[in-house]
Structure 1
């Protein structure tokens, strides 16, 4: 018996016996939550269903009658699930009345078929995700019931961007404009749009949950999505409560820190695993901006003061398309400017676009770097220029406040951020 056990342990995953055993184990794993919830079908039923799917799938590979048996087995599982539902309905038994249990049985059958067909990773993934959905029943229901109409619409729009449009885009595209061939990566460009939109959704959830606990949350996490929105909110906050000016200044500093952190994440994250080296040159100057912003914010306000920021919606399709258009235009005209005027032309474009969206300018520089049009130094300088222009535009917006102390502090501390980033850049060059 021990010798047989050792043979099973040492056997590779492509061995038929091992795959059958794994199918049964995954079926037991799926049935564990159903058994714990006291449903009509539990561990044994789910394990047998997975084994049935595995056996019929193996017969498909080995015999000519296997396909019919595989379809018949699936139909039997569906009929069994329907019978369980009817039985629970007639008996007024809520434990037996479970459409989820019926569907889970069919999933278990599919998991067994996947494993037997040597789709090991896929089968395990389906089993784990399905079990997670079963366990998180209460949390998922509470989340869905708590969504407003605006939040539901925004979630649907984000799903369209991420799971419908993205797969349809080509991996590479080389259009010609004014006699210049511009290599583009539509999927990478759109993935960056999805990433920024996803940050906005995460920011909305965090601010909605914890925004009332402190202005630090509204400043930093609000800055991840839109640092300009933070400035607008703080202007209104100071107008209503002049005594809270120091907290508003700190919130804008944290928004700058979040903006720099987002740009750094784009610069480093989207160059990992590519054909070019990671843009490590951007880490020190952007890191200096982040650290200085946090240090000054910590010293200028008492974070026991609360100041929630209300966001209209977690995500907007219009804003996402506008963001994509911004850095696509920057990408195209940046390539043209570099071809016509050299690197200085692209730098000017980065500065101008940074006033609108530093993330757009950053992603454009990264895409050009990935395509080989920019070197690491040129891409880093463009990212830093976009970051600088974003800090400057927030200071200019804050200067419209009638509160002299507020606007003077924002201007002074913004200058300190720029100085710290410049010194860090000089240290790299030395």
Structure 2
């Protein structure tokens, strides 16, 4: 007996017995919420359905003709059983609800069993976990959907189109010939910035609706950790909707710059700890100066004591997001041309151009070259600083497209302050 148990314990996931057991366990997991909700189908029913799907799928692998017919028959039986449960709920007691969710969940359990038996382990587990999460969050999802306005539904649909329809259709690379120069554009990366603007805009809408002006600060900093450039697109929307709140939008961009600098510093220091080339501490002073100045200016320019609830018209604007993507494309093209023109200063030019897209990418490249000995600490630090400066400048350029004079002037002035502070810290470092 112990020998059999030991063999089962050592069996890999491609063993048939283990896959059958996993299918039954996932079925029990799916049926747990239904049992807790006191539905007519619970743990045992769901587990048996998953086992049935697993057994028939295994038969398909061994005997395709017989197994295929049984698999289809089993699926039809599950559907019929689900329909009967739904009808029972419909013609039963007045307070009994239509059991469509339970019926569909049973079919999901059958599919999970089939996936696991066919050795799609990760996929089967993912489907089971997500399905269980949807069942558990029933009340929250209903409340969320019921509370959405027409504008919020439109924004959600537009975001889904941007992220899940258009993005996968775009090519990963597209060579663009400009005279004698060929620029290898990445349409998916460019469109990803549009998606990022839309996504951050929706998150900003939710946070600002809850926390007011302080929510803008949250959006700026944490959005800056993901994509500091995309934060500008969100703030352009915000200022267009509420011109009187431009000081908060300026503070958000400053905090996005602080988050960007903090992320670059973490990469520069964290990935050189314990390396043979030594810790890249030279970047700490100028990047630290940018972080401190950004927080100081953001903390003093906006009146956070009056950051009450703010009503925004919509989560984000499709027009502004697409316009942001167009401006970003222009900046990217000019950055690539600059990289070609600089010649021997290719690395620094690359750092500047990369900063337009993601200063984190340029920082990572500099750290990798530094660890490999291709760059000294001074060259790597200069590359990181150039990428950081490039990111700050491009945000100021994008903010300059705003029709709000106060907003764009403040962003320009405070961005200059950040750059001068970082430069002064760099001079002190050299001295």
User: In 2 relative to 1, CA 337–297 (structure 1 residues): closer, same or farther, beyond 3 Å?
Assistant: closer
Report the secondary structure of 2:184's partner residue. coil
CA contact (8 A) 2:251 2:302 kept: no
For each residue in 1:173-218, what CA deviation from the matched residue of structure 2 results, as whole angstroms up to 9, or x when unmatched? Answer: 223221221112222332233223212211111111221xxx3333
CA contact (8 A) 1:281 1:380 kept: no
Counterpart for residue 386 of structure 2: 381
Q: CA deviation at 1:154?
A: 0.9
For each residue in 1:63-106, what CA deviation from the matched residue of structure 2 results, as whole angstroms up to 9, or x when unmatched? Answer: 13111111111111111100100011111365562111111000
Structure 2: distance between partners of 1:313 and 1:267: 35
Structure 2: distance between partners of 1:410 and 1:256: 8
Counterpart for residue 196 of structure 2: 195
Within 5 Å, give how 1:87-98 maps onto structure 2. Answer: 87-92=88-93, 94-95=95-96, 97-98=98-99
Residue 268 of structure 2 is aligned to residue 261 of structure 1: no
Q: CA deviation at 1:263?
A: 7.7
Report the secondary structure of 2:307's partner residue. coil
User: In 2 relative to 1, CA 323–287 (structure 1 residues): closer, same or farther, beyond 3 Å?
Assistant: farther
Counterpart for residue 236 of structure 1: 244
Q: CA deviation at 1:11?
A: 1.1
Q: CA deviation at 1:400?
A: 5.9
Structure 1: distance between partners of 2:89 and 2:303: 58
Structure 2: distance between partners of 1:422 and 1:218: 28
Structure 2: distance between partners of 1:184 and 1:280: 34
Counterpart for residue 23 of structure 2: 23
After TM superposition, the score normalised by the length of structure 1 is: 0.76
Structure 1: distance between partners of 2:149 and 2:404: 36
Report the secondary structure of 1:83's partner residue. helix
Structure 2: distance between partners of 1:14 and 1:255: 51
Report the secondary structure of 2:306's partner residue. coil
Counterpart for residue 143 of structure 1: 144
For each residue in 1:369-414, what CA deviation from the matched residue of structure 2 results, as whole angstroms up to 9, or x when unmatched? Answer: 9999xx975575254144146459979999966xxxx999999866
Within 5 Å, give how 1:269-288 maps onto structure 2. Answer: 285-288=286-289
CA contact (8 A) 2:237 2:320 kept: no
The unaligned stretches of length 5 or more in structure 1 are 238-247, 270-278, 354-359
Structure 2: distance between partners of 1:407 and 1:179: 36
- Which shows bigger deviation, 135-144 or 86-95? 86-95
After TM superposition, the score normalised by the length of structure 2 is: 0.76
Structure 2: distance between partners of 1:413 and 1:368: 24
Within 5 Å, give how 1:17-166 maps onto structure 2. Answer: 17-64=17-64, 65-92=66-93, 94-95=95-96, 97-166=98-167
CA contact (8 A) 1:231 1:398 kept: no
Q: CA deviation at 1:313?
A: 1.7
Counterpart for residue 228 of structure 2: none
User: In 2 relative to 1, CA 178–49 (structure 1 residues): closer, same or farther, beyond 3 Å?
Assistant: same
Report the secondary structure of 2:174's partner residue. coil
Count matched residues.
398
Residue 173 of structure 2 is aligned to residue 172 of structure 1: yes
Structure 2: distance between partners of 1:228 and 1:414: 16
Structure 1: distance between partners of 2:49 and 2:284: 53
Structure 2: distance between partners of 1:283 and 1:365: 16
The unaligned stretches of length 5 or more in structure 2 are 224-230, 268-279, 367-378
User: In 2 relative to 1, CA 219–17 (structure 1 residues): closer, same or farther, beyond 3 Å?
Assistant: closer
Structure 2: distance between partners of 1:134 and 1:84: 17
Structure 1: distance between partners of 2:103 and 2:85: 7
